[in-house]
């Protein structure tokens, strides 16, 4: 391949938020649309895209080194970019959750487990970074692959 020259220029603004979501390829297009058009972030956000997304922060006992490394990435971005808003996103049929032992969870319902994890991650983050606002979302779809992204309450 020859050199590629994007039409877009490098951004010079400060990031407004940190978005943390799963690396699952199926979601990337709908998430970018949601973040840019739904939340009106206009591409002005840092991203952590890792398997299971923000669930990484809840693994203190099960995978402590993984949890520790995740915490370092969050701290680096929040402090380095002086971020005031975090957006944590979980999704239906997340392959990462298929790999986790069930005893880690208080519910057998997949969506409830993931929403509980989002709330746990928010508690962890707001205790460490009281200056940040943490918004939670869940991505679901129907049999025709029509997607809905809903805020997670609580
Ligand atoms: Zn996933």
Tens-digit pLDDT profile for residues 14-50 = 999 999 999 999 999 999 999 999 999 999 999 999 9
Query: Ligand 1 centroid to 4 CA: how many Å?
Result: 30
Q: Are 66 and 56 in contact (CB under 8 A)?
A: yes
Determine if the pTM surpasses 0.85. Answer: yes
Q: Assess whether pLDDT exceeds 80 at residue 62.
A: no
Cα→Cα distances 61→18, 56, 57, Å: 25, 11, 10
- In this structure, which residues have their CB less than 5 angstroms from ion ligand 1? 22, 24, 94, 96
- What is the predicted pLDDT for the residue at 21? 97
The Cα diameter of the chain in Å comes to 52
Q: What is the pLDDT of residues 72-115, one digit of tens each?
A: 999 999 999 999 999 999 999 999 988 877 666 667 788 998 99
- What is the predicted pLDDT for the residue at 20? 96
Query: Ligand 1 centroid to 75 CA: how many Å?
Result: 22
- What is the predicted pLDDT for the residue at 104? 64
Overall fold of domain 17-151: Beta-carbonic Anhydrase; Chain A (3.40.1050)
CA distance 128 to 2: 46
The average pLDDT across 122-146 equals 96
Query: Ligand 1 centroid to 17 CA: how many Å?
Result: 21
Q: Which residue has the higher pLDDT, 63 or 11?
A: 11
Query: Ligand 1 centroid to 69 CA: how many Å?
Result: 19
Residue 47 tokens read as: 């991203």
Query: Ligand 1 centroid to 1 CA: how many Å?
Result: 31
CA distance 94 to 23: 10
Host H or E run for residue 28? helix 28-33
Q: How many residues does the chain have?
A: 154
The average pLDDT across 121-134 equals 94
Query: Ligand 1 centroid to 2 CA: how many Å?
Result: 33
- What is the predicted pLDDT for the residue at 133? 97
Query: DSSP of 70-135, one letter per residue?
Result: HHHHHHHHHHHTT--EEEEEEETT-HHHHTS-GGG-S-SSHHHHHHHHHHHHHHHHHHH-TT-EEE
């Amino acid at each position: 391949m020859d050199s590629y020259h994007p039409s877009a220029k490098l951004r010079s603004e400060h990031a407004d938020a940190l978005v943390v979501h799963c690396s699952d390829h199926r979601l990337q297009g709908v998430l970018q649309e949601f973040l840019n058009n739904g939340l009106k972030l206009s591409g002005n956000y840092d991203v952590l895209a890792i398997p299971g997304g923000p669930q990484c922060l809840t693994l203190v006992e099960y995978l402590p080194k993984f949890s520790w490394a995740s915490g370092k990435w969050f701290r680096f971005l929040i402090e380095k970019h002086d971020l005031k808003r975090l957006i944590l996103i979980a999704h239906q049929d997340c392959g990462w959750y298929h790999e986790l032992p069930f005893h880690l969870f208080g519910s057998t319902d997949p969506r409830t487990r993931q929403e509980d994890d989002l709330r746990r991650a928010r508690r962890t983050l707001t205790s460490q970074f009281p200056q940040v606002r943490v918004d939670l979302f869940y991505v679901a779809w129907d049999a025709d692959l029509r997607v809905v992204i809903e805020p997670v309450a609580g």
